[in-house]
Amino acid sequence: MKRYIYIIVALCLLNFSCATVLADTGEVQPPEIVGKAGIVMDVLTGKVLYEKNAHMQLEPASTTKIMTAILALERGNLSDTVVTSKEPPRVDGSRIYLEEGEELTLEQMLYGMMLNSGNDAAVAIAEHIGGSVESFVKMMNAKAREIGAYNTSYVNPSGLPAEGHVTTAYDLALISRYALLNLPEFRKIVASKTKEVPWQGQDWDRQLVNLNKLLWNYEGADGVKTGYTSRAGHTLVASATRDGWQLISVVLKSDTRIWSDSAALLDYGFDNFEIKNVIGEGASITEEKVKYGDPVHLVTKEGFTVVVEKNGLPITKKIVLNPDIKAPIAKGEVLGQLVFLQGENQLGSVNLIAAGDVKRKIYTFWWFWLISIVLAFYVPFRIMVGIRRYRRHKQRIQYVTYMKRYR
């Protein structure tokens, strides 16, 4: 009996010691999410901070409308009048209850689509921008390729279930990042909690309420789009900004715990990483010797910003110059790179360019020395010839003067 007690105690101590070792490593474990796929991405740099099945194709549901909004904002005018055809009122799912012939501005349609997830508004926008839903879908797929979302395929502008209508967590993050970086009006719309939109034929306006709960209960939340169908499950692309740093999280194929999933992913990013502006554009780096010319001053062509783990190793810099730098050099010419390292890990690099022109010194040309050698012999020779001619001329003058005087 005692032997069994000793074994149990030993196992307990072993488990405790193992747990202690794991705790002492200081390694932060990423969150466990319910969703089948997820990702956290930095908006500015595009760096992925967390991923789970990020490239698995799944149905996006209404997060599809992010792409619909992108095309509407890039190809339309917010003041455009969008006339509702007979098709939008027939659309299933969430709606803002458009009626055939009803007119709203493109801006109002966008609010109806992005806040209340109106499928009818999505179809109305698609017909207005593309002429037809089919043409608009082609534009959506072309734009996805342009952004780099190669595993995304759209069949409709709303996200209703359809065969072949798929995306990935990574692609959705790329698409959302594109919108947040390039479209100020998109940022404004998806960050709005409520909006009043006219309701034609009614004595009151539509009171739109954003379905993104994180806007109310997560610090810094500022977008972007919810989604749900029975096939896709709950989907959510969320964004949040803290101290000027914006992150995107994507969760696909989840359940009602998607809100805690998304909050956990964003917390993981903010708690364990930080963004650093390592160097700015035009920063003075060094002065280097130039063959055939004066030294050249090197500056950075662009700035460098990186996301790293908190309390990580310091970031170091290494200059890598082009071989055989020689004049002439034009201002802005790339002459090397400034490489950024964290330990043995290369974080990235920026180009080093010439701060000004460097002309080749004249005495470095071969023809300069040829001319110099020729002149070194020719000039003294011409001087000697000139002196001799002068002396002869002087003698002639003296002789003529003498003859005239004594003739």
Residue among 62, 239, 249, 262 flagged as catalytic: 62
DSSP string, 195-247: EEE--TTSSS-EEEE-S-THHHHSTTEEEEEEEEETTTEEEEEEEEEETTEEE
- 262 assigned to active site: no
Query: What's the rounded Cα separation, in Å, for the pair 17 and 226?
Result: 44
In whole angstroms, what is the distance from residue 216 CA to residue 191 CA? 10
Nearest of 57, 28, 63, 106 to residue 239 by alpha carbon: 63
CB count within 10 Å of CB 305 equals 16
Query: Is 79 tagged catalytic?
Result: no
Q: Are 33 and 261 in contact (CB under 8 A)?
A: yes
CB-CB contact of 225 with 237 (8 Å): yes
Q: Which among 2, 36, 47, 65 is annotated as catalytic?
A: 65
Asked if residue 30 has a cis previous peptide bond (ω within 30° of 0), the answer is no
What are phi and psi for residue 373, nearest 5 degrees?
Answer: -65, -45
The one catalytic residue in 52, 86, 94, 117 is 117
The C-alpha atoms of residue 126 and residue 160 are separated, in whole angstroms, by 14
φ/ψ of 259, rounded to 5, equals -65, -45
- Separation CA 190–CA 174 (nearest Å): 16
Find residue 207's DSSP bridge partners: 196
DSSP-assigned states of every residue in 161-202: --TT-BB-HHHHHHHHHHHHHH-HHHHHHHT-SEEEE--TTS
Find, among 378, 323, 321, 383, the residue nearest to 353 by Cα.
Answer: 321
254 flagged as catalytic: no
* Catalytically active residues, by annotation: 62, 65, 117
